Amino acid sequence: MGRFRGGLRCIKYLLLGFNLLFWLAGSAVIGFGLWFRFGGTMKDFSSEDKSPEYFYMGLYVLVGAGALMMAVGFFGCCGAMRESQCVLGSFFTCLLVIFAAEVTTGVFAFIGKGVAIRHVQTMYEEAYNDYLKDREKGNETLITFHSTFQCCGKESSEQVQPTCPKELLGHKNCIDEIEAIISIKLQLIGIVGIGIAGLTIFGMIFSMVLCCAIRNSRDVI
């Protein structure tokens, strides 16, 4: 009986440790998603009428899952401390939802990468052509693209030189830069999503083992 209670206590502390790690991971995921959305390379697109929603969709899911992770981390600690089968069952269900959300984010980031890149490139093409039609009018969207991706024009920068960043040295094709930068960012989002999904599997295992151990201990009593 003493060994059984000792094993139950060990599982409980493992789950508490997991929930602390899970809460911290949730905080990191929220910060990661918000920085990608409103900071770094893509921040200037937040105020544009046309924004790369294909790119942002994965970030919205990631931030939502991060907020849920923080709530679930606290929820799981309560269930482990109180040794409540009901709370632990609810905790398992929440982890399953987070697992599905993170896998969806990861798969979308890897599989939908081409669609997102083409979407942003199309936005650039439209801004580029609008500027060539009326150069006197100017084009804030084109300036934003050049500033964000630190590039200028396509095959040549001569036609859109006034909209190029002054600090840019040499010519960089914006079509190529968009593909490279968006690809890297979506790969990072995919890795984070799949990594968190893997972490939730351990949480589900711990919660189910603890739930079964609590039920068995009550049957013995």
Q: HEC states along 121-186?
A: HHHHHHHHHHHHHCCCCCCHHHHHHHHHHCCCCCCCCHHHHHHCCCCCCCCCCHHHHHHHHHHHHH
pLDDT of residue 44: 56
Query: What tokens were used for 133?
Result: 């039609």
By residue count, the chain amounts to 221
pLDDT of residue 70: 85
Segments of the chain scoring below 50 in pLDDT: 1-2, 47, 220-221
pLDDT of residue 54: 57
**pTM to 2 decimals?**
0.71
pLDDT of residue 123: 85
pLDDT of residue 7: 64
pLDDT of residue 196: 83
pLDDT of residue 175: 92
d(CA 211, CA 203) in angstroms, rounded, equals 12
